[in-house]
Structure 1
Amino acid sequence: MAYGKIPETAIESVRLHHEIVDTVGKYVHLTKNGKYMKGLCPFHSEKTPSFTVTPELQIFHCYGCGKGGDVIRFVAEMEGYSFPEAVRVMAEEAGIPVTWESGPGAGNPQDTTRLKQYEGHELAAKLYHYLLNNTTHGQTAKSYLRSRGMSDRLIDEFSIGFAPDSWDTLTRFLQSREFDLELMEKGGLLSAKNDGSGYVDRFRNRIMFPIRNREGKVCGFGGRVMDDSQPKYLNSPESSLFAKSRIFYNFHASRPVIRKTRRAVLFEGYMDVIKAWSAGVKNGLATMGTALTEEHAAILQRHIDEAVFCYDGDDAGQAAILKSIPILEKAGLKVSVAMLPKGMDPDECITKLGPERFIRETMEHPVSATKFKLLYLRKDHTLLGEENRKNYVMDALGIVAQLESSTEREVYLKELSREFEISLESLKADCHRLVTEQQKKKPSGDNNDNSWNNGRNEKRRSFAAPALLPAYHHAERRLLSAMMRDAEAARTIYEHLGEDFNVEDHAALAAYLYAYYAQGLDPDVSRFIATLQDDRLERTATSILMNDDHSPFDEKLLFEYIREVRKVPRLKELERKKEELSRAERSGDTMQAVQIGIEIIALEKQLKERQDERF
């Protein structure tokens, strides 16, 4: 059994069911290149494809950022899953029974903890929903929701609930079901008392909106007050289940429409999403009371081509749009803005204008991101007087010059020409000058200014030419490549070299290979990679397989590589002895120098004998 409680047979079934080209093709446009499939890497920004899928081996590898692995690792990386979570989701998609969670002692402690925290959140959501619908405590909250245009159907559909004005309603409920309260506090459901004597409810006297992850599991809550008290909204704290920078409200329910249309509408709040849903907007999302992040953009980029902002019409909402547009544009997304009447939020707009007018006048006619920037720019300019008008036009040209399409630039230049009665030729000349200046400042290489998805990596990578590796490093990689493809080669290498590889990751891969073949398994690189349980080793293995030159590999060459690897420790010892000899000579210690010289001669003799040895 691998990966805690997941049987090896389940991992193998998932891997065999999900063909890697089909799976990767849902996220990356792949084109055939000989026996490989190539495309732009989804894990770092690039213009020249360096991302390669090998159907024969069922693996992927990026020559730019180094990521690689099998189909399960790809889904885990793309969706932000742990390996067990990826296996579980892919098994459910394939109709493979997910039965490995049950059973005494199954699973590692970390997975068991997360499952228990999820269970606590699910029960809390049911409790809050019950209290809203069936108790006197919830009547005021339900009346408030109805006054905001929320029907009973919507309340049930979104599992909206109510946390009463009590310190321990949820605490006692969870305790009665023998939940570990400390674990529930770490999961964000409860708060520890200041004196350390116990726990209290985190949410009190608030309307409760369950927040679900992409699989539809409740992972947090948003609590809203019904008066003017602050904070207006209180979200669950950051936890192992809930990360605001990676979660969208309503993503699980809107995903089918989002994937079908490749389009999402971004709102600011829960109520906006729910009311828009009732009006027919089934692809609406909201961030968790936080600004849009690059991690949000990376998630959206995997599912959509276009994002439509529908934030509040007040100054704060419009400023948030302006700040968020570059984040999504750097992710390669088309961005537009649904313009609301000034000061209105989507909830108010739907209530006052009605769903039909909201869809017809707002959602069906969004303006482009550039048009929005030009409209927003007017807030900072008084267009009275020649100087003020000139200043606005020059600032507007700065926005237009950022467009890559010369056709798009001309469209906006013509608008400016008509409105301000300036010749189109003059505007084109000034715009061309700004474009040239921007291009001079732009660094060369693959989208260096577009760091949107490099945030998935630990740090920005510099893709310079790799340093020349020593001969033994190349030899070890060739041996490992042969071992992954040929069980007989692995047995020969085990007999004559064992785990005496000089590179730590190579030694680890060799150990895993020996254990893999010891189970009587046939060579299958994708299956082997799925047993590694280590992201770094998976990258190393796929890099070895993808970079191997596949030149003829007979027994003579195999033993030459083994000799090259085996002599490294003696070469390092010889180098160390030569350094000792140099120090002894500099210090005038003749006897020590003679002794070290004898040892050096002996080592050189051993190296020559080892080079000439027969296997």
Structure 2
Amino acid sequence: MFWMLDPWVQKSPRRRSDEVQRRQENRGLWTVDYGLFKEGVKVLPRDNLIEEIGQRSDLVSLISEYVPLKKAGKNYKGLCPFHSERTPSFIVSPEKQLWHCFGCGAGGNVFSFLMKIENLSFLEAAKALAQRAGVKWQSTPQSKGQDELRERLFKVNDFALSYFHDNLFNLKRGKLALSYLKERGLDKKVMEEFKLGFALPEWDSLLKEAQKKGFLLSDLEKLGLLSARSGQEGYYDNFRHRVIFPILDTQERVVGFGGRSLGQEEPKYLNSRESLVFNKSRSLFGLNLAKQEISKQGLAIIVEGYMDVIAAFQFGKTNVVASMGTSLTPEQARLLSRYTNSVVIAYDPDLAGRMASKRGLDLLSSANLKVKVAVLPEGKDPDELIRESGVKLWEELVKDAKSLIDYKIDLILSHQEIKDVEDKAQVAEEIVRVLEGIKNPVVLDGYLKLAAQRLQVDESAIRSLKAQLKISYGKKVRKFASPISGQKKIEREMLHLMVENKAALEAAKMEILPSDFTDPTFREIAEVL
């Protein structure tokens, strides 16, 4: 019967122990100590605690937060959240505390549902359910201190969010910030949805409020909300005279903040420092709100900044997240892959954005994601585009997004001036090298024809070059000494801007890492700058 427990739940402790050992061998993710499960270095609780969490959890109540359910006899029925369907085949049994979909075959208990819908590990799901059910989580002696600190830091962030948010909607204190946000086209509903706030201009406003509430100032320093005064005792507020964008994780916990200056304060955008609860490289702004729509559509759109995400949401496009700058990371790619296998990059169409889009293509592809690039009109970021040109144009640009190969070819052609035959030969070589990774012969044939058309050369010349360079599946590429490539030209232009223009240098420091430069010499220069 389908109401049987998930095989993992049914196994005896000894059999589960064997299963964990097999998972460790196969995936390198698990370790085991009989009677006490471990995930990485974190110890999982004993069976009696898991049993108590399961018994005190209401499966119908939990699932109802994700799926509209209707009573059907003793059970409940709804549309499956794990695949597209028109006729409800998703059944929940309150009596047995089990769920099953007759459409896709998925099923299990309260733990497996939360793990699947939120893409959590068993440990994460168990902790979340324990908190929800009012069951005290039993930490091990090794992790108790760190767990207590983490909980304190989350409470501090909750306090800071409430304080900043109250400031924004205070008629006197938040007037300037509220005017700025309204000028940017935001309405109160979307401000509330993203829990936006305002940090006052004073150097100690948050500090004083934290003292009143009894928080440890050292905890606020750990989170980057305060900094220690140089050469003297005491602290000062890090976020001052800034619109505040809270950053939440997929479990709706406040992990950090971004602040946009409303005056001459530098930098223009300031983020929380790395902490026990915040790692920018592992966070995506807006994912807590976008994850369900991303899963539903099977598509995520990545933009650069906070306002790009918020503008998209205000106009009903809720599958958009921000990398908070242009340095997309492998951790962010893996995080996104929990919810979809298709991504469209919609970065700003400036030089930094184009460089980042190219890096993002390769990075997301290496995470086994299907990735395309939406090419925005020159001078328009997603926020401006949506507000000024409307959501219809945005939809068209996303729909017409270029594939990895097409975008790379366009990038080469746009950054390589063809003055003579030698220039054309150099560009042809770069394009043919881009085609190296294409394994499907039909697709490769199509791109060889396209390359010939774009370069206005005979198709046989491109095929001859391809053969000469030995770019085909399973064969090694023979390297030729060549003039500076299109990618190097982009990097050289970026360095030139950074050297000549102070504002460009400061902007680059916020969005580009020295390691992003592929040329060793350029990388060294960037490190010095």
Q: If the length of structure 1 is used for normalisation, what is the TM-score?
A: 0.58
Offset at residue 186 of structure 1 (A): 1.2
Offset at residue 343 of structure 1 (A): 2.1
Q: Does 1:67 align with 2:29?
A: yes
Offset at residue 378 of structure 1 (A): 1.6
Offset at residue 264 of structure 1 (A): 1.2
CA-to-partner distance for each residue in 1:380-434, whole Å, 9 max, x for gaps?
A: 3123433322322221111122222222222222222233343434423433454
- 2:200, 2:242 within 8 Å by CA — same for their partners in 1? yes
Q: State the AA in 2 paired with 1:375.
A: D
Q: Does 1:159 align with 2:195?
A: yes
- 2:247, 2:255 within 8 Å by CA — same for their partners in 1? yes
Match of 2:334 among 298, 303, 306: 298
Q: Does 1:349 align with 2:388?
A: no
Tell me the distance in 2 between the aligned counterparts of 1:194 and 1:109: 29
Tell me the distance in 1 between the aligned counterparts of 2:123 and 2:238: 30
Offset at residue 302 of structure 1 (A): 2.9
Which residue is equivalent to 2:280? 244
Q: State the AA in 2 paired with 1:356.
A: K
Mapping 1:202-281, distance limit 5 Å: 202-227=238-263, 229-281=265-317
**2:239 partner SS:** coil
**2:343 partner SS:** strand
Structure with greater Cα Rg: 1
Offset at residue 139 of structure 1 (A): 0.7
Moved more, 423-432 or 333-342: 423-432
- 2:260, 2:268 within 8 Å by CA — same for their partners in 1? yes
CA-to-partner distance for each residue in 1:251-276, whole Å, 9 max, x for gaps?
A: 11111122223321111100011111
**2:446 partner SS:** helix
CA-to-partner distance for each residue in 1:517-565, whole Å, 9 max, x for gaps?
A: xxxxxxxxxxxxxxxxxxxxxxxxxxxxxxxxxxxxxxxxxxxxxxxxx
**2:247 partner SS:** strand
**2:227 partner SS:** strand
Tell me the distance in 2 between the aligned counterparts of 1:134 and 1:171: 19
- Alpha-carbon distance change, 267 to 72 in structure 1, aligned in 2, over 3 angstroms: farther
Offset at residue 289 of structure 1 (A): 3.4
- Alpha-carbon distance change, 272 to 75 in structure 1, aligned in 2, over 3 angstroms: farther
Q: Does 1:136 align with 2:172?
A: yes
Q: Does 1:430 align with 2:469?
A: no
- 1:402, 1:435 within 8 Å by CA — same for their partners in 2? no
- 1:88, 1:98 within 8 Å by CA — same for their partners in 2? no
Mapping 1:441-456, distance limit 5 Å: 441=476
Which residue is equivalent to 1:87? 126
CA-to-partner distance for each residue in 1:452-497, whole Å, 9 max, x for gaps?
A: xxxxxxxxxxxxxxxxxxxxxxxxxxxxxxxxxxxxxxxxxxxxxx
Tell me the distance in 2 between the aligned counterparts of 1:375 and 1:249: 29
The number of equivalent residue pairs is 391
- Alpha-carbon distance change, 347 to 151 in structure 1, aligned in 2, over 3 angstroms: same
Offset at residue 80 of structure 1 (A): 11
- 1:263, 1:304 within 8 Å by CA — same for their partners in 2? yes
- Alpha-carbon distance change, 88 to 439 in structure 1, aligned in 2, over 3 angstroms: same
Offset at residue 109 of structure 1 (A): 2.5
**1:412 partner SS:** helix
Which residue is equivalent to 2:494? none
Which residue is equivalent to 1:383? 418
Tell me the distance in 2 between the aligned counterparts of 1:63 and 1:111: 28
Tell me the distance in 1 between the aligned counterparts of 2:222 and 2:249: 18
Tell me the distance in 2 between the aligned counterparts of 1:75 and 1:277: 38
Offset at residue 310 of structure 1 (A): 0.5
Tell me the distance in 2 between the aligned counterparts of 1:263 and 1:245: 21
**1:215 partner SS:** coil
Tell me the distance in 1 between the aligned counterparts of 2:435 and 2:213: 61
- Alpha-carbon distance change, 75 to 249 in structure 1, aligned in 2, over 3 angstroms: farther
- Alpha-carbon distance change, 21 to 309 in structure 1, aligned in 2, over 3 angstroms: farther
Tell me the distance in 2 between the aligned counterparts of 1:438 and 1:346: 38
Which residue is equivalent to 1:460? none
Which residue is equivalent to 2:404? 369
Q: State the AA in 1 paired with 2:401.
A: P
Which residue is equivalent to 2:523? none
Q: Does 1:417 align with 2:452?
A: yes
Q: State the AA in 2 paired with 1:371.
A: D
Tell me the distance in 1 between the aligned counterparts of 2:416 and 2:9: 53
**1:137 partner SS:** coil
Which residue is equivalent to 1:484? none
Which residue is equivalent to 2:375? 339
Match of 2:440 among 405, 411, 415: 405
CA-to-partner distance for each residue in 1:65-106, whole Å, 9 max, x for gaps?
A: 5433589849989999898645213657xxx71421699x9x
Which residue is equivalent to 1:329? 365
Tell me the distance in 2 between the aligned counterparts of 1:434 and 1:148: 52
Offset at residue 152 of structure 1 (A): 1.1
Which residues of structure 1 form unaligned runs of 5+?
1-15, 23-34, 36-53, 443-615
RMSD: 3.4
Q: State the AA in 2 paired with 1:355.
A: V
Match of 1:178 among 209, 214, 219: 214
Offset at residue 305 of structure 1 (A): 0.7
Offset at residue 298 of structure 1 (A): 2.2
Q: Does 1:123 align with 2:159?
A: yes
Tell me the distance in 1 between the aligned counterparts of 2:173 and 2:194: 20
Which residues of structure 2 form unaligned runs of 5+?
45-114, 478-529
Tell me the distance in 2 between the aligned counterparts of 1:429 and 1:55: 59
CA-to-partner distance for each residue in 1:118-150, whole Å, 9 max, x for gaps?
A: 111111111111111113121111111111111
Which residue is equivalent to 1:396? 431
- 1:275, 1:350 within 8 Å by CA — same for their partners in 2? yes
Tell me the distance in 1 between the aligned counterparts of 2:459 and 2:248: 52
**1:248 partner SS:** coil
- 1:401, 1:434 within 8 Å by CA — same for their partners in 2? no
Offset at residue 354 of structure 1 (A): 1.5
Q: Does 1:316 align with 2:352?
A: yes
Tell me the distance in 2 between the aligned counterparts of 1:175 and 1:83: 37
- 1:244, 1:290 within 8 Å by CA — same for their partners in 2? no
